[in-house]
């Protein structure tokens, strides 16, 4: 029995809503427990990642940043962030080795990536 078929069976049971929630939580926790984010430069991003909200990050960016940080946390290499909507790119010049993904407008989520994971995660307007 696969994970999705088990989840579907539990979801159909009217009296098992709590069990469905619990199964979803356990699945999420097991899937995303290997942390690949190592360090943050931007304290607001760290707070947003750990708690789900931050006063130092614009509220209209919260949902997208949380989604991008979750992807970054699961990434095994820098190329895992190469999704079309993120516009993944490597910075040039003195910033070579730093990667960026578009958040909104001129704002970018920048990071470096090593075998250990993502480092120096920052929210920048570098244009």
- Whether residue 22 has pLDDT greater than 60: no
* pTM above threshold 0.85: no
Render pLDDT for 37-95 as a digit per residue (tens, 0 to 9).
Answer: 999 999 999 999 999 999 999 999 999 999 999 999 998 888 899 988 899 999 999 99
Domain boundaries, the chain: 1-31, 43-125
What string of H, E and C letters represents the secondary structure of the chain? CCHHHHHHHHHHCHHHHHHHHHHHHHHHHHHCCCCCECCECCHHHHHHHHHCCCCCCCHHHHHHHHHHHHHHHHCCCHHHHCCHHHCCEECCHHHCCEEEEEEECCEEEEEEEECCEEEEEEEEECC
The hierarchical CATH code for the domain 43-125 is: 3.30.2310.20
Average pLDDT of 18-22?
49
């Amino acid at each position: 029995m696969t994970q999705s078929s088990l989840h579907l069976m539990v979801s159909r049971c009217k009296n098992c809503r709590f069990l469905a929630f619990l199964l979803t939580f356990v699945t999420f926790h097991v899937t995303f427990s290997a942390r690949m984010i190592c360090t943050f430069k931007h304290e607001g991003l760290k707070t947003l990642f750990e708690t789900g909200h931050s006063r130092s990050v614009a509220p209209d960016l919260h949902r997208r940043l949380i989604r991008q940080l979750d992807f970054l946390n699961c990434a095994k290499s820098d190329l895992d962030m190469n999704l079309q909507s993120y516009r993944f790119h490597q910075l040039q010049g003195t910033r070579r080795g730093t990667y960026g993904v578009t958040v909104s407008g001129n704002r970018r989520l920048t990071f470096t990536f090593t075998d250990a994971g993502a480092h120096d995660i920052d929210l920048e307007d570098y244009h």
